Amino acid sequence: MRSVWSATTAPDAFTLPHEVFELGLKQGPLLVYLYLICHKSLKHRADEMSCAVISKAVGLCEKTIRTHLHTLSDTGFIKTEYHGQTFSYTLHPIQSNVQEHRGTTSRSRWISRKQAWITGEVFEAVFPLPNAVFQLGLKAGELLVYLYLQYQKGVLSGQCWPSYATIGAVVGMGRKTVQKHVRSLIDAGLIQAEDTMIRRRDGRSYNGSLLYTVKPIEQILKGREKEFLAELKLVEAQRRWDRRCQQRGHPRSAL
């Protein structure tokens, strides 16, 4: 689906303003808020949504989702209208929230063109995120760290080097928690990380922040699709073998 917000944005991506990480939201409400932005950018209107759909996308239980929705509503980020098991929502302008927290949150630089966001606000810059980030089956903490690395990565290189402390300050996690989630993302094959060295003027060297390479998400999904198809072929081959064994009166055995 092509995004209506930018002719230069990839068809499978949605845009976020940099200021979305300056709202002072805790990790749970922030993650739900990011998903609601993605959904609205795809649908172009406040279509009906359910807590079950959000739960599957962000790795949180439905009860927790409801709590975070109330938080977002009470703090003025969204307006919700419930219809039984589903609800519709609209996104409120966030500029006032940005100004409130801008003095306490460090800003990350990014080169991008100015653009109006989905609420009609004009921000200094926007950045794209792949829609498929919510289809990876990540746990909530892993997903939020992954989203931030997606935000920080270079457009061409796919690389960035924020410290654990920097990531934690933005997404509301401790250093050790960020480190744990980074390791999970590496094990899942979504990112690569390598050590860096910083040399002082006196000639001494010490370890710098990790250099992250965020793998293209299309490559990840294609790899998973190949694995899934290979598994299906193996299962079908086993079924055929079992049928042959039954027809010949032999006991079943694994291929």
Segments making up each domain of the chain, as ranges: 1-133, 136-215, 228-255
Question: Residue holding tokens 């294609």?
Answer: 222
How far apart (Å, rounded) are the C-alpha atoms in residues 189 and 197? Answer: 24
- Can you give the pLDDT at residue 140? 92
Quick one: how far is CA 73 from the chain centroid? 22
- Per CATH, which fold does 1-133 belong to? Arc Repressor Mutant, subunit A (1.10.10)
The answer to whether the predicted template modeling score (pTM) of the entire model surpasses 0.85 is no
How far apart (Å, rounded) are the C-alpha atoms in residues 154 and 77? Answer: 29
Q: Which two tokens stand for residue 35?
A: 């998903």
Handedness of CA 23, 29, 30, 34 (dihedral sign): negative
133 in Cβ contact with 143 (< 8 Å): yes
Longest dimension (CA), the chain: 80
Q: What is the pLDDT along the chain (255 residues), one digit of tens a residue?
A: 223 333 334 458 888 888 888 888 888 999 999 999 988 887 655 567 899 999 999 999 999 999 999 999 999 999 999 888 889 999 998 887 777 766 554 454 444 566 778 888 888 788 888 888 888 889 999 999 999 999 888 877 889 999 999 999 888 899 999 999 999 999 999 999 998 877 777 777 777 788 999 888 877 777 666 665 666 667 777 777 777 777 776 555 555
Q: Which two tokens stand for residue 120?
A: 């009609």
Q: Do domains 1-133 and 136-215 have the same CATH topology?
A: yes
Quick one: how far is CA 18 from the chain centroid? 15
How far apart (Å, rounded) are the C-alpha atoms in residues 240 and 237? Answer: 5
- Can you give the pLDDT at residue 29? 93
15 in Cβ contact with 128 (< 8 Å): yes
- Per CATH, which fold does 136-215 belong to? Arc Repressor Mutant, subunit A (1.10.10)
Residue 106 neighbours by CB under 8 Å, 6+ apart = 166, 169
How far apart (Å, rounded) are the C-alpha atoms in residues 62 and 32? Answer: 11
